Amino acid sequence: MNQSSLSALNISKEGEGSMEMKDQLNSILESFKDDIKDITDLKQVEDIRIKFLGKKGLLTDVMKGMGKLSKEERPEMGKFVNDVRGEIESGIEKMKDSAKEAMLELQLATETVDVTMPAGDVEVGNKHPLYLVLDDIKDIFLGMGYKIAEGPEIESVYNNFDALNAPKDHPSRSMSDTFYIIDDMILRTQTSPVQVRTMKAQQPPIRVIAPGRCFRNDELDATHSPMFHQIEGLVIDKGITMADLKGTLDTFAKRVFGSQTKTKFRPHYFPFTEPSAEVDVSCFKCGGEGCRFCKGSGWIEILGCGMVHPNVLRECGIDPEEYSGFAFGMGLDRITMLKYEIDDIRHFFENDMRFIKQF
Is residue 301 over pLDDT 80? yes
Assigned domain for 124 exists? no
DSSP string, 84-120: HHHHHHHHHHHHHHHHHHHHHHHHHHH----TTSPPP
What's the alpha-carbon Rg for the chain, to the nearest Å? Answer: 37
Assigned domain for 226 exists? yes
341: left (phi over 0), alpha (psi -120 to 50) or beta: left
Read off the CATH number of the domain in which 297 is found. Answer: 3.30.930.10
pLDDT band at 2 (very low <50, low <70, confident <90, very high): very low
- Span 245-270, mean pLDDT? 94
Question: Do residues 151 and 80 share a domain?
Answer: no
- Percent above pLDDT 70 for the chain: 95
- pLDDT tens digit sequence for 167-197: 888 888 887 789 999 989 999 999 999 999 9
Is residue 15 over pLDDT 70? no
d(CA 36, CA 88): 10
Question: Do residues 59 and 148 share a domain?
Answer: no
Count of CA atoms in the C-beta half-sphere (13 A) of 314: 6
d(CA 98, CA 106): 12
User: Which residues are CB-neighbours of 85 under 8 A, at least 6 positions away?
Assistant: 53, 59
Question: Do residues 180 and 304 share a domain?
Answer: yes
Question: Do residues 224 and 90 share a domain?
Answer: no
Question: Do residues 78 and 153 share a domain?
Answer: no
Assigned domain for 9 exists? yes
Helix orientation angle between 242-257 and 332-340, rounded to the nearest 10 degrees: 40
117: left (phi over 0), alpha (psi -120 to 50) or beta: beta
Provide the domain count of the chain: 2
pLDDT band at 344 (very low <50, low <70, confident <90, very high): very high
Q: What pLDDT score does 334 carry?
A: 92
More confident residue, 102 or 352: 352
Question: Do residues 18 and 90 share a domain?
Answer: yes
- pLDDT tens digit sequence for 209-232: 999 999 998 888 888 899 999 999
Assigned domain for 60 exists? yes
| pTM of the shown model | 0.64
Domain that holds residue 81: 3-110
More confident residue, 67 or 90: 90
